[in-house]
Amino acid sequence: MSAQERLADALYGLGWSTVKKLPEPVAVRLGRTVADLAWKRRGKGVRRLESNYARVVPDASPERLAELSRAGMRSYLRYWMESFRLPAWSVARVRSGFDPKGLHHLTDGIASGRGVVLALPHMANWDLAGAWVTTELKTPFTTVAERLKPETLYDRFVAYREGLGMEVLPHTGGTAFGTLARRLREGGLVCLVAERDLSASGVEVDFFGDRMRMPAGPSLLAQQTGALLLPVTLWYDDSPVMQGRVHPPIETPGSGTRAEKTSVMTQALADAFATGIADHPEDWHMLQRLWLADLEPRPSDGDPA
């Protein structure tokens, strides 16, 4: 384990052990202070966030982009402060912490017994939304986590999410898709954060006027199992309550090859995400490269390894 990995593991461990004990107003102020300090330093993540916002709001002035990136960092740190404290929240606090619109799309889907795939972008606090589902709707679900380094940090995230009532599968290893499909065929619920392709073999879509890749998993799962595919977007307002919207279901096309159906469904998912992100760009926490034009050449593209 490198020194950087040990430091990351220690910092996250400190967050879950210490921040969760803070009174909520203190945690809110701490998060805002850390966010503003990070924003003023203008490190790589902040610059990338601002660059991504420039695609979402193409007519924004430099001053407006700076405002957006500052608000984006505050939203991102609100996510972390809430996540560190979520294990200590009461059931009542979790239930009152989220107010989703269009909830009937989800509850009707669960009641149908056909299985439901919820697909979300990296907006606001997806962990809080998940805790609300397991607490308020009393519905367990299965999700997938990126295998982080060091392994101890990945284990922390798995333990944290399992403590909120989620079944967590590793993204790597090749068995996740089959397990997700079984859960859906049993009428279960699957939740996937799904606008960033981690495999480099995703589906190309148009997103805010340029090409990017999104994972094919949500669309393929819906096709293969007959499950309902529901986009979800999240955002914050000035209250302690996170807002959200369950969008109408994305239907499986009646004709075409599996690849053609997957392309159509994934583009529809991207369009739903774009609607939510355009309305609340500051709550989209994308501090990494996303669009194909921004990605560095891969070794397979002829670039030296």
Paired tokens of 4: 């950087």
Instruction: Give catalytic residue positions.
Output: 122, 195
Across the strands, what pairs with 250?
229
Q: Return the closest-CA partner of residue 190 out of 211, 208, 166, 172.
A: 166
Paired tokens of 131: 């805790």
Calpha distance 277→274 (Å, rounded) = 5
Cβ atoms < 10 Å from Cβ of 254: 6
Distances (CA, A) of 167 to 8, 143, 196, 237, 238: 24, 6, 21, 29, 31
Q: Return the closest-CA partner of residue 203 out of 246, 145, 147, 258.
A: 258
Residue 153: phi and psi, rounded to 5, are -70, -40
- Pairing relationship of beta strands 203-207 and 189-193 according to DSSP bridges: unpaired
